[in-house]
Amino acid sequence: MQTNTGDDTVRTALRGVLDDWIAASQRRDLEALMACYAPDVVAYDAIQALRFTGRDAYREHWRMCLDMCPAGLNFRFQDLEISGAPDIGYAHGLVGCGDGTGGGEFWSRMSTGFRRQGERWLIAHEHFSFPFDAQTGKAMMHLQPDGTARTRPIPPDMNAVTPHLVCRDAPGAIEFYKQAFEARVMARLDSPQGGLMHACLRIGDSAVMLMEESSACQAVSPVTLKGTPVTLHLYVEDADAVFARALQAGATALMPPADMFWGDRYGVVVDPYGHQWAIATHVRDITPEAIREAAAAFGQPSRDGGLG
């Protein structure tokens, strides 16, 4: 559906700019695409940066987008409303975007401001956005214009890789993670016999699954294995405070927090159930070259005979 207000000639011209914009993006014609924009365009795109100021800056952003979609970008509008006056115009609606591969379409919100320059209408302002899930911080790109949500192969509250911990006394482990890492229980499934079959926790912005040790499921805990080759890396706002809280909850210190050459404040604990956690806060940004140099020096003998 399209709603139009204002002069029909202006409205038709504005719709023509949007149609040219769609056609240029579909055929990956960067110059034709940029010809739709005013030289001083200010754009709030949904990705990459808070703001793009000027056509040259926006050109590089669009170049990256087109390079990511070699089959072209297929845009279409829904609930588009266009209004115009002699020298300015405005459009807003929902815009669907597919990458030309048939891999699905996502919808975003769009608002566009136009300005007449001579005989031409150009886009002076553009804004795309997605709603986000307050719990995970993820963009809700699965929402559909009719208010439904497309079933996603990866659920919106999950990441591609999720640790699944096997614990001896999994209910006790849940309580530890709540105390040490402020975990929240998102799901819990108890067995008819009273044991824990499955639980899903959220620590920070990440999901962590766990279950009770079970020989029937060939699920063995670190306690039975007498160790673990796996370390879970946990980023937090204050590594020292979380490290101390983990020890107070019953963890064992393996390495006290220290400033590391890669830019993290970093320490390691083993929880009472045998799982090893690296607790880190990023405190300074370091170039890859500086990290390589520091890594080469790390492990070299120091004057006191230790490792540097």
List, for residues 82-101, the tens digit of each pLDDT value: 999 999 999 999 999 987 55
Q: What percent of the chain has pLDDT over 90?
A: 72
Q: Could you tell me if 102 and 176 lie in one domain? A: no
> Would you list the DSSP string of the chain?
-EEEEE-HHHHHHHHHHHHHHHHHHHTT-HHHHHTTEEEEEEEE-SSS-S-EESHHHHHHHHHHHHHH-TT--EEEEEEEEEEE-SSEEEEEEEEEEE-SSSS-EEEEEEEEEEEEETTEEEEEEEEEE--B-TTT--B-TTB-TTS-BPPPSS-TT--SS--EEEETTHHHHHHHHHHHH--EEEEEEE-TTSSEEEEEEEETTEEEEEEE-BTTTTB--HHHHTS-S-EEEEE-S-HHHHHHHHHHHT-EEEEEEEE-TTSEEEEEEE-TTS-EEEEEEE-----HHHHHHHHHHTTSB-TTSSB-
pLDDT given for residue 229 in this prediction: 96
Q: Tally the domains of the chain.
A: 2
Range(s) of the domain holding residue 239: 164-297
Within-domain flag for 172: yes
Which CATH number characterizes residue 225's domain?
3.10.180.10
Domain final residue pick, 80, 111, 129: 129
Residue 123 shares a structural domain with residue 178: no
Band the pLDDT of 148: cuts 50, 70, 90.
confident
Question: Are 180 and 240 part of one and the same domain?
Answer: yes
Same-domain pairing of 266 and 188? yes
pLDDT tens-digit profile of 204-225? 999 999 999 999 899 999 999 9
- Whether 31 and 114 share a structural domain: yes
Does one domain contain both 289 and 168? yes
For residue 304, what pLDDT is reported?
42
Q: Are 7 and 113 in the same domain? A: yes
51 within a domain of the structure (yes/no): yes
Query: What is the residue-averaged pLDDT of the chain?
Result: 90
With tokens 């048939």, the residue in question is: 102
Per-residue pLDDT at 6 exceeds 60: no
Residue 55 lies in a domain: yes
Among 79, 109, 129, which residue terminates a domain? Answer: 129
